Structure 1
């Protein structure tokens, strides 16, 4: 407290201050808005990582300016101060307990788990030519850039040789393409591991974004939603080519989710051919797929290790009935979650799937919500799945026969009797006429 009352004394004392006092002193200077002390602490920071984002519940421009000013002095020095080990400025909300651990909270002692992100970031920094790595969360959701991000991007732009701006999770909700391109031009794209594009884009916009996606060679999870098409067929084909060709560069892609991808009908095989590694999860929802699309899906070698499959909102009633069973046979050894909601599935379709479904020994969750199914086929479904050791929940919609229908009550009694008399460990939810039983 006495140090904080005299900023000049604080700055002088940093050379001999025990490292254990740096975090609590930084917190006091942060909450007291002591800019000069913050700058001095940055220049002498004895840890590899400064997790500033965990102190800022909301972005605070004044604090960022003070910390970056301290980094500027550090970067300009040919020889770093003896004690300073700072290589990573982390502006993300990591949820780690770094600050509580060093503030004297007895319930949070030192542990290797808490410092694991430091080791990861140190590795990244040592491999980089840049002396400083800045991690940030990028949620691009405004029409214009806010002051915090604008200041940071401008600061990085002026120091591209000395600073690497990194982001592991990129989420784009709503932002003009010009601003998206401007921000991402400052980011080390090979750092990004997860990408979510939740915009309502035309396929031409996605084609503009696609070359940037291709540079994100370490992406593991990709979500694209609501990509629309126009009537200009020839031009759309060119855009689809530009998009799918970028998948050739995503060597680490494990999870792919595409919601309402209007451009995908008749082109799924084109995208599947470009996948460079087996997927562990695939979701293609609320769109039209042709028989040839489903055929290519069932034949694609990169589908053989799927743990999660979601085809909700894809009409399966007009497809060849053997296509989905073939796909289920392919993934039977690994599949854990299966979502076939609102697919127009009737009794005859489900009947063709039962044998293949019963071979999915790892299945934990299976949903048929939004499909009209009779109680009889639900009984058949239970007969084929009751022996699955991992299945924890089944969701189905049984065809309503009327609220007082004796047929419904009789079938329901048989169904529940079957559950009680067999080794059935899953939860069964039936939806009848909008009511849950």
Structure 2
């Protein structure tokens, strides 16, 4: 027996409409706006490019989220025929000098991971509570005003309003972004595509000249998050920073693997560093700063942080060299007063006074949720100094301090001062020094079972369901072994 449900009247109407291209295009003028989304979805699934182009021009909503639809209908290679049809429809609109009557489209959203319930509602998987709820707030507000007071300029002709094209881009040397390549080629063909608005931009391993060409095609003031993981030197970073300063709405910056340039004179290096740091003056929304393997940072961290005007939520400094002066300034600068995440992983602190780190923990005790002090070379005496401040970090959830040289006695104190914290959920600690025979290495462990059993008993005694692990890493080969308590 065939239990498959028969097609609904809406499904039959969609199939009938899409079978006749001329009829479908002519019907758009009288098609109720409630039927646009389901017909559009059917046209995408069936790759009816001509109909899609006309539907974009007649789209009755403020936003067209094309990216999530590509995911929903699982179209293979979506940024070709379907995207070309949509952009050709935009070209037809933007080439007109007078805005067509009833034209609503303002945003073409190509982000594939954007959260939206628009297509879920129109596919029937979620209930529709209000047609206005699918529009932007400003659009719903303007509709309300028109409903209440009318519009005395109904017949007035308006110039064509711009349409924003929003996307997120991942640019990698050996794996070019297919979407950006498609869009950028249209720009070079002098199509009527407006400048791109990109909220998240990731740049990995690309020569600066190619990145600069990309930046010129974008609205830099629209970027909110940027990650640059490129083996650039300081002069190249300074050239990039001139563009960075125009990204005034950035709230997250991640810069990795900036190399030193040995041939630079001290005067030239100071000038280049000033060029980079000065671009942070205008970034008034920056809340997350990630610096990984930025090799010129030593001795000039204060110069960078002084340019920031609002407190950071996240400060992530990994595999960098910091001076005593850098850490001292870090402990007193106002932008670190309310940190929620602090990472100094790979920053060697063995020769630095622990009082600076103690001050940082004291002033962030009410906000700090994550602390990463892994591979810092901390010793027993340093850990002992910061323990009282660490025990008052009431919001601490995650602590990573593996790769430090601590004894069993200090490690036990560390556990007893962190695991009982009310919000603590996960910790990664080093194996105690007593477990090693000579060189600190996973290959030279002895009596590890005995010590781990004692550590497990301590964790159980503290009565918390926190996840606690211990690890050891070989400095020569990088091999890491983990032990769960």
Query: Given the two structures, how large is their TM-score scaled by the length of structure 2?
Result: 0.81
CA, structure 1 residues 347+354, in 2 after alignment: closer, same or farther (shift >3 Å)? same
CA, structure 1 residues 203+43, in 2 after alignment: closer, same or farther (shift >3 Å)? same
2:460 equivalent to 1:420: yes
Q: Which position in structure 1 is the counterpart of 2:321?
A: 288
How big is the shift at 1:185? 1.3
CA, structure 1 residues 143+381, in 2 after alignment: closer, same or farther (shift >3 Å)? closer
Q: Which position in structure 2 is the counterpart of 1:126?
A: none
**Match among 9, 30, 39 for residue 25 of structure 1:** 39
CA, structure 1 residues 20+113, in 2 after alignment: closer, same or farther (shift >3 Å)? closer
Name the stretch that deviates more: 94-103 or 260-269. 94-103
CA distance in 1, matches of 2:295, 2:196: 34
How big is the shift at 1:155? 4.0
CA distance in 2, matches of 1:144, 1:419: 46
CA, structure 1 residues 220+292, in 2 after alignment: closer, same or farther (shift >3 Å)? same
How big is the shift at 1:159? 7.3
Q: Which position in structure 2 is the counterpart of 1:313?
A: 346
How big is the shift at 1:130? 5.2
Secondary structure of the residue aligned to 1:322 is helix
How big is the shift at 1:408? 7.0
2:449 equivalent to 1:430: no
How big is the shift at 1:60? 2.2
Asked whether the 8 Å contact 2:79–2:178 carries over to 1, the reply is no
Q: Which runs of 5+ in 2 are unaligned?
A: 1-14, 72-76, 142-159, 437-444, 474-480
Q: Which position in structure 1 is the counterpart of 2:94?
A: 75
How big is the shift at 1:78? 4.1
Deviations 1:189-226 (A, max 9, x none): 11111011111211221111101110010100110000
CA, structure 1 residues 418+139, in 2 after alignment: closer, same or farther (shift >3 Å)? closer
2:357 equivalent to 1:357: no
Asked whether the 8 Å contact 1:167–1:192 carries over to 2, the reply is yes
Q: Which position in structure 2 is the counterpart of 1:101?
A: 121
Q: Which position in structure 1 is the counterpart of 2:57?
A: 43
**Match among 82, 85, 90 for residue 66 of structure 1:** 85
Deviations 1:324-365 (A, max 9, x none): 111111211111100001111121211111011111111111
2:270 equivalent to 1:250: no
How big is the shift at 1:270? 0.6
Which structure has the larger Rg?
2
Deviations 1:209-244 (A, max 9, x none): 101110010100110000001112432222211111
Q: Which runs of 5+ in 1 are unaligned?
A: 124-128
CA distance in 2, matches of 1:193, 1:116: 24
How big is the shift at 1:170? 0.8
Matches within 5 A, 1:270-419: 270-399=303-432, 400-401=434-435, 405=447, 409=450, 412=452, 414-419=454-459
CA distance in 1, matches of 2:298, 2:413: 33
Asked whether the 8 Å contact 1:339–1:368 carries over to 2, the reply is yes
**Match among 197, 206, 212 for residue 175 of structure 1:** 206
How big is the shift at 1:293? 0.6
CA, structure 1 residues 173+414, in 2 after alignment: closer, same or farther (shift >3 Å)? closer
CA distance in 1, matches of 2:169, 2:61: 25
2:239 equivalent to 1:208: yes
Query: Given the two structures, how large is their TM-score scaled by the length of structure 1?
Result: 0.89
CA distance in 1, matches of 2:192, 2:244: 23
CA distance in 1, matches of 2:289, 2:202: 15
Q: RMSD between aligned alpha carbons?
A: 2.8
Deviations 1:151-204 (A, max 9, x none): 423545787998342111011113332222222112111111101111121122
CA, structure 1 residues 120+306, in 2 after alignment: closer, same or farther (shift >3 Å)? farther
CA distance in 2, matches of 1:274, 1:110: 48
Secondary structure of the residue aligned to 2:226 is strand
How big is the shift at 1:150? 4.1
Secondary structure of the residue aligned to 2:383 is helix
How big is the shift at 1:44? 0.6
Q: Which position in structure 2 is the counterpart of 1:265?
A: 298
